[in-house]
């Protein structure tokens, strides 16, 4: 297992154009990031393309990392997920009203961001468990499968606006729970 | 309504929707315009990203095909990476080159001493593979002794740690002999591990787990 400090160190070296560090980061993280791409895209060939884009972006944008307040694995996971979702949306009907997913926010590290870096899987799972199962499922679907409001509304057979109201309420309850 | 940190509910929900990629295009653009000027909003975005990133565990780890790293390096660095960068045009280089010549002439043929071997065969022995692994480097030489994918299908190689889910080592290439690198996290889990080959659609399993029939299996045994 590679620790947070080790991954931070590798990213710092990649910033200095160290190819060995790049290769080491690939060994340590590619299975995790490929898992994320595959989960979103559900297609091996596309996930492989997405993963290539992810590591190309890591090499080119490593200098953006230290300034943005993310823990290193979150930065990598968010990058992989966003690239995979962009690809997913590009594949779907061009009439989709959501054209892209966000770039990573750029901000200076804050005590709040540092504190949440310690939050783990159990915490978010426990808080999702406090939601109605269908709503927790919608949040997971949006994050892990890149589902849009339209996808979610269709899957749960509710009007789009109802889905949005549900989801926004779920987010607020989730945050309440997570900040407890 | 605002919370203890002065965030109002609408912004909390908006930031969450933004991170999930749910905002309609016009709202997303408006939100991004605000992000540039409002550090407090950026904090909300980072917080949601951090919290949701923990969910990525659910996606599981899947080893990408071994050739992918080289493809990425070619995209970034052009030509193939030099594997022996320490040979310079110096006297030291000449000595090193002489040492390599000596190695080439006196080293045993084949990969460095394998630590593990596996015979992966189907019940009717129509599909048979031999694998030799060097634990220290994770390099595994795979030789296809018999059998091929069905027309329009592919054969995919899996590493199955004892009591765990299969991890893909990629689709078997056409070549009869090739080398794959076992990713580092798997090298600790060799005891009791099994190699398997499954029948998959072209390009390999779309889900990260075997989807077709498991055609052949074989235990990875230590050598000697």
The CATH number of the domain holding residue B167 is: 2.60.40
Specify whether A99 is located in the same domain as A23.
Answer: yes
Cα separation, B217 vs B159, whole angstroms: 10
Specify whether A104 is located in the same domain as A46.
Answer: yes
When divided into structural domains, chain A yields a total of: 2
Specify the CATH number for the domain of residue A151: 1.10.10.10
Q: Do A123 and B206 touch (CB under 8 A)?
A: no
Residue-level pLDDT at B79: 59
Instruction: Provide the pLDDT confidence category of residue A145 given band limits of 50, 70 and 90.
Output: very high
What is the average pLDDT across A115-123?
Answer: 60
Among A69, A85, A118, residue at a domain's last position: A118
Instruction: Provide the pLDDT confidence category of residue A97 given band limits of 50, 70 and 90.
Output: very low
Q: Tell me whether B159 touches chain A (CB under 8 Å).
A: no
Quote the minimal CA–CA distance from B23 to chain A in Å. Answer: 7
Specify whether B169 is located in the same domain as B102.
Answer: no
Specify whether A77 is located in the same domain as A159.
Answer: no
Specify whether A61 is located in the same domain as A76.
Answer: yes
Instruction: Provide the pLDDT confidence category of residue B117 given band limits of 50, 70 and 90.
Output: confident
Q: How many CB pairs lie under 8 A apart between chains A and B?
A: 189
Q: Tell me whether A106 touches chain B (CB under 8 Å).
A: yes
With beta carbons under 8 A apart, name residues in chain A contacting B50. 70-71, 74, 113, 116-117, 119
Specify whether A86 is located in the same domain as A125.
Answer: no
Average of per-residue pLDDT values in chain A: 85
Dmax (CA) for chain A in angstroms is 51
Q: Tell me whether A71 touches chain B (CB under 8 Å).
A: yes
Q: Which residue has the higher pLDDT, B113 or B82?
A: B113
Question: What are the contacts of A11-18 at 24+ separation with CB within 8 A?
Answer: A11/A58, A11/A62, A11/A65, A11/A66, A11/A72, A11/A75, A12/A66, A14/A58, A14/A59, A14/A62, A15/A62, A15/A63, A15/A65, A15/A66
Residue-level pLDDT at B203: 82
Specify whether B96 is located in the same domain as B76.
Answer: yes
Specify whether B130 is located in the same domain as B210.
Answer: yes
Among A97, A118, A139, residue at a domain's last position: A118
Contact B21, A98 (CB under 8 A): yes
Specify whether B179 is located in the same domain as B136.
Answer: yes
Average of per-residue pLDDT values in chain B: 81
Among A71, A96, A118, residue at a domain's last position: A118
SS3 B169: strand
Specify whether B127 is located in the same domain as B218.
Answer: yes
Residue-level pLDDT at A67: 64
Specify whether A9 is located in the same domain as A67.
Answer: yes
How many C-beta atoms lie closer than 10 Å to residue A96's C-beta? 15
Specify whether B40 is located in the same domain as B79.
Answer: no
Instruction: Provide the pLDDT confidence category of residue B11 given band limits of 50, 70 and 90.
Output: very high
The domain of B127 spans 116-222
Specify whether A133 is located in the same domain as A91.
Answer: no
Q: Is residue B3 part of a domain?
A: no
Specify whether B79 is located in the same domain as B160.
Answer: no
Specify whether B173 is located in the same domain as B102.
Answer: no
What is the average pLDDT across B125-144?
Answer: 86
Q: Tell me whether B84 touches chain A (CB under 8 Å).
A: no
Specify whether B55 is located in the same domain as B75.
Answer: no
Specify whether A111 is located in the same domain as A41.
Answer: yes
Specify whether B36 is located in the same domain as B77.
Answer: no
| Chain A residue nearest residue B169, CA to CA | A31
Q: Is residue B2 part of a domain?
A: no
Specify the CATH number for the domain of residue A72: 1.10.1740.10
What is the average pLDDT across B218-224?
Answer: 84
Q: Is residue B4 part of a domain?
A: no
Residue A9 phi, psi (nearest 5): -65, -45
């Amino acid at each position: 297992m590679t620790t947070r400090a080790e991954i931070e160190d590798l990213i710092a070296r990649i910033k200095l154009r160290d190819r060995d560090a790049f290769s080491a980061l690939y060994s340590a993280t590619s299975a995790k990031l490929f898992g994320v791409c595959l989960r979103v895209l559900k297609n091996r060939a596309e996930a492989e393309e997405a993963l290539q884009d992810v590591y190309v972006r890591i090499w080119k944008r490593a200098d953006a990392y230290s300034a943005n307040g993310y823990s290193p694995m979150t930065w990598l996971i968010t990058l992989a997920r966003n690239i995979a979702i962009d690809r997913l949306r590009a594949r779907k009907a061009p009439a989709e009203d959501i054209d892209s997913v966000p770039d990573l926010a750029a901000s200076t590290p804050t005590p709040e961001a540092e504190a949440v870096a310690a939050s783990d899987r159990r915490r978010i799972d426990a808080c999702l468990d406090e939601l109605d199962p269908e709503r927790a499922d919608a949040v997971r679907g949006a994050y892990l499968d890149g589902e849009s409001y339209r996808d979610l509304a269709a899957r749960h057979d509710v009007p789009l606006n109802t889905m949005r109201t549900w989801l926004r309420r779920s987010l607020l309850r989730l945050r309440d729970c997570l900040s407890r | 309504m605002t919370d203890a940190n002065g965030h109002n509910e609408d912004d909390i929900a908006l930031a969450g929707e933004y991170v999930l990629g749910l905002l309609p295009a016009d709202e997303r653009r408006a939100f991004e315009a605000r992000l540039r000027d409002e550090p407090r909003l950026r904090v909300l975005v980072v917080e949601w990203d951090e919290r949701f990133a923990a969910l990525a565990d659910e996606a599981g780890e899947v080893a990408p095909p071994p050739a992918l790293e080289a493809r990425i390096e070619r995209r970034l660095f052009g030509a193939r990476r030099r594997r022996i960068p320490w040979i310079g045009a110096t006297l030291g280089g000449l000595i090193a080159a002489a040492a390599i010549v000596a190695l080439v002439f006196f080293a045993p043929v084949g990969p460095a001493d394998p630590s593990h071997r596996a015979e992966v065969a189907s019940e009717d022995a129509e599909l048979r593979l031999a694998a030799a692994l060097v634990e220290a480097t994770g390099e595994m030489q795979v030789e296809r002794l018999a059998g091929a994918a069905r027309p329009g299908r592919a054969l995919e190689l899996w590493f199955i740690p004892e009591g765990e889910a299969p991890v893909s080592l990629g689709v078997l290439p056409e070549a009869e002999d090739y080398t794959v690198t076992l990713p580092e996290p798997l090298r600790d889990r060799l005891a009791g591990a099994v190699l398997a080959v499954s029948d998959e659609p072209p390009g390999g399993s779309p889900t990260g787990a075997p989807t077709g029939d498991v055609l052949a299996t074989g235990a990875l045994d230590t050598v000697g």
